[in-house]
């Protein structure tokens, strides 16, 4: 490799000794130093960074320390790896396009313990907010209050509803859910059906049943933060595989399975929280074929497939997935989160382990709630409600997409969901979502930072836009506010503004 020359002032800053007595890790110090040199134009777009060994020698640190710093700046979109020439500073035309994946959702190749979302410091908007893009559920005005009221009054008369329900579920609810799932092409023959208190509990049960001590779970990157919590509290280590416009990048799966021998893969094939993206048909087929070949268990989280703007996608647990897919169904977004009834459909060999895990967590699902759900599903108003809800969500998405296209600066990008109520917005390169959200919240716009959904806290320049609890007027006003914060030069919260003093100008 040709020797690179760095201008003397730059070399002095780049190779200046790190602070060994402070609280900041050496790799974080180095990443921050490089960010600042880039932000000040001292390292220019297209410049190559020093080779790992050279920089390690100059700074008297390990190669691993430099590698971690380079990885951090790569994740932030500030540098791009080159297969033979090392790392170079990103150019404006190095697009961080969602469909390319690695720019924003990189393969986390070593299993890591998920950080707890409860520790995240997320600024909250007041109840009088202008727009709530932070609520990932349909607004209460979209919930089927009449349907639930009818179902409740049909259920409450029976005093038996005040007793404990059987472990696997009440017969009336099992019958209604079985019918409902069959109509939606979920493969049930020979399967075990277990009712739970919602998908959060389903996931905890499955994790407890399948995860060995110190075991690994594969997830999408980014993924639902509650799932990361469930895995973290069960002691799982997580390997996260990138998602792009066509859903999980299945190409990275075989390697991850062979290297980490995971207990299972957790995936949301339809309108994923937080990106709104879905697994395309080709990747579905590829995923199922790979799972069968590699003996990989797929845990499918179906919480929103019915909220498709056009035709709902089929479940992974169709005829081709019977032997490899454990299907979790939630009714929280279709009817109401307060109901707390969900279901697990699993290949029969998992039945007793799942029952045992449920018994150890909480053997009972409210009999009353099960009966209410059964009456809701049997009510002719249910289908009407779901179609109306999906139609309204499509209407809100169209309003959001239109407002984003009209108002956002050119370097802001977002996903295009085909259903559900989540989209993912990538801020301009170098922008800090935490700072951006602090500013939007002050102006009355609630958002959730992207790093909440990433096992390693990456995706720090992205936010989730949830639009199910926001009216069209609120959407338009909210986008206007976000765009004015991003568009105003003074307010673009670039990293260079965070620590401007650390490098001599």
Ligand X SMILES: Cc1ncc(COP(=O)(O)O)c(C=O)c1O
Q: Which secondary-structure segment (H or E) carries 437?
A: helix 433-442
Q: Specify the residue, 78 or 234, whose C-beta has the smaller distance to ligand X.
A: 234
Q: Specify the residue, 199 or 278, whose C-beta has the smaller distance to ligand X.
A: 199
| One-character DSSP codes across 99-129 | GG-TTTS----S-BPPPPGGG-------TT-
Supply the minimum distance, in Å, between the C-beta of residue 274 and ligand X: 8
Q: Specify the residue, 268 or 458, whose C-beta has the smaller distance to ligand X.
A: 268
Task: Give 186's contacts (C-beta < 8 A, 6+ positions apart).
Answer: 315, 317, 318, 327, 329, 345
Q: Specify the residue, 106 or 330, whose C-beta has the smaller distance to ligand X.
A: 330
Report the residue number whose CB is nearest to ligand X: 198
Q: Specify the residue, 452 or 481, whose C-beta has the smaller distance to ligand X.
A: 452
The string over 194-203, giving b where at least 16 C-beta atoms fall within 10 Å of a residue's C-beta and e elsewhere, is bbbbbbbbbb
| One-character DSSP codes across 315-327 | PSSSGGGTTTEEE
Q: Specify the residue, 170 or 199, whose C-beta has the smaller distance to ligand X.
A: 199
- Of 27, 65, 106, 136, the one binding ligand X by CB under 6 A: 136
Q: Specify the residue, 212 or 337, whose C-beta has the smaller distance to ligand X.
A: 337
Identify which of 241, 235, 203 has the alpha carbon closest to the alpha carbon of residue 223: 241
Return the residues of window 165-224 that contact ligand X according to CB under 6 A: 198-200, 224
370 sits near ligand X (criterion: CB under 6 A): no
Supply the minimum distance, in Å, between the C-beta of residue 226 and ligand X: 7
Helix axes of 199-210 and 225-233: crossing angle, nearest 10 degrees:
40
Round to whole Å and give the CA distance between 139 and 199.
20
Round to whole Å and give the CA distance between 282 and 244.
14
Round to whole Å and give the CA distance between 191 and 289.
20
CB distance 104 to 98 below 8 Å: yes
366 sits near ligand X (criterion: CB under 6 A): no
- Of 301, 439, 474, 476, the one binding ligand X by CB under 6 A: 301
- Of 303, 350, 421, 453, the one binding ligand X by CB under 6 A: 303
Residue whose entry in the numeric block shows the structure tokens 């180095």: 30
Supply the minimum distance, in Å, between the C-beta of residue 66 and ligand X: 37
Helix (H, G, I), strand (E, B) or coil at 191: coil
- Of 29, 192, 249, 273, the one binding ligand X by CB under 6 A: 273
Binding-residue pattern over the window 90 to 129 for ligand X, x denoting contact by CB under 6 A: ----------------------------------------
Binding-residue pattern over the window 310 to 349 for ligand X, x denoting contact by CB under 6 A: --------------------x-x----x----x-------
Q: Specify the residue, 307 or 324, whose C-beta has the smaller distance to ligand X.
A: 307
CB distance 270 to 419 below 8 Å: yes
For ligand X (CB under 6 A), the number of binding residues is 13
The contact set with ligand X (CB under 6 A) reads: 136, 198-200, 224, 268, 273, 301, 303, 330, 332, 337, 342
């Amino acid at each position: 490799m040709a020797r690179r020359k760095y201008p003397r002032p730059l070399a002095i800053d780049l190779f200046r000794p790190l602070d060994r007595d402070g609280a900041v890790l050496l790799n974080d110090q180095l990443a921050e130093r490089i960010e600042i040199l880039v932000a000040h134009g001292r390292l220019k777009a297209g410049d190559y960074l020093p080779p790992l060994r050279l920089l390690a020698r100059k700074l008297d640190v390990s190669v691993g320390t430099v590698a971690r710093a380079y990885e951090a700046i790569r994740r932030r979109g500030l540098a791009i790896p080159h297969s033979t020439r090392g790392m170079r500073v990103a150019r404006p035309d190095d697009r961080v396009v969602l469909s390319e994946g690695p720019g924003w959702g990189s393969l986390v190749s070593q299993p890591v313990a998920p950080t707890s979302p409860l520790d995240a410091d997320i600024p909250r908007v007041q109840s009088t907010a202008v727009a709530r893009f932070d609520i990932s559920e349909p607004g209460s005005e979209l919930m089927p209050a009449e349907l639930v009221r009818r179902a409740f009054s049909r259920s409450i008369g029976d005093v038996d509803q005040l007793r404990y329900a059987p472990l696997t579920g009440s017969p009336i609810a099992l019958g209604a859910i079985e019918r409902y799932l069959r109509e939606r092409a979920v493969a049930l023959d020979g399967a075990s059906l277990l009712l739970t208190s919602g998908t959060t509990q389903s996931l905890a049960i499955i994790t407890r049943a399948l995860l060995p001590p110190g075991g690994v779970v594969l997830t999408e990157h980014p993924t639902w933060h509650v799932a990361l919590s469930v895995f973290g509290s069960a002691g799982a280590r997580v390997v996260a595989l990138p998602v792009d416009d066509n859903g999980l990048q299945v190409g990275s799966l075989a390697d991850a399975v062979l290297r980490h021998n995971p207990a299972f893969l957790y995936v949301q094939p339809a309108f994923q929280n937080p990106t709104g993206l879905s697994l395309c048909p080709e990747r579905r087929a590829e995923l199922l074929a790979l799972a069968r070949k590699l003996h990989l268990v797929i845990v499918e989280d179906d919480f929103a497939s019915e909220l498709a703007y056009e035709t709902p996608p089929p479940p992974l647990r169709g005829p081709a997935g019977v032997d490899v897919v454990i299907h979790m169904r939630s009714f929280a977004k279709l009817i109401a989160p307060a109901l707390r009834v969900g279901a697990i459909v699993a290949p029969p060999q998992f039945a007793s382990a799942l029952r045992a895990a449920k018994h150890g967590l909480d053997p009972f699902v409210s009999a009353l709630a099960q009966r209410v759900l059964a009456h809701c599903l049997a009510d002719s108003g249910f289908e009407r409600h779901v179609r109306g809800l999906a139609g309204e969500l499509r209407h809100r998405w169209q309003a959001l997409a239109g407002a984003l296209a009209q108002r956002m600066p050119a370097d802001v990008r977002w996903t295009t969901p085909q259903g559900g109520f989540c989209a993912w917005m990538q801020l301009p390169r170098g922008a800090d979502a935490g700072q951006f959200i602090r500013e939007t919240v002050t102006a009355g716009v609630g958002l959730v930072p992207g790093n909440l959904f990433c096992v390693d806290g990456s995706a720090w320049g992205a936010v989730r836009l949830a639009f199910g609890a926001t009216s069209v007027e609120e959407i338009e006003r909210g986008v206007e506010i976000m765009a004015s914060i991003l568009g105003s030069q003074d307010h673009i919260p670039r990293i260079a503004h965070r620590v401007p003093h650390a490098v001599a100008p």
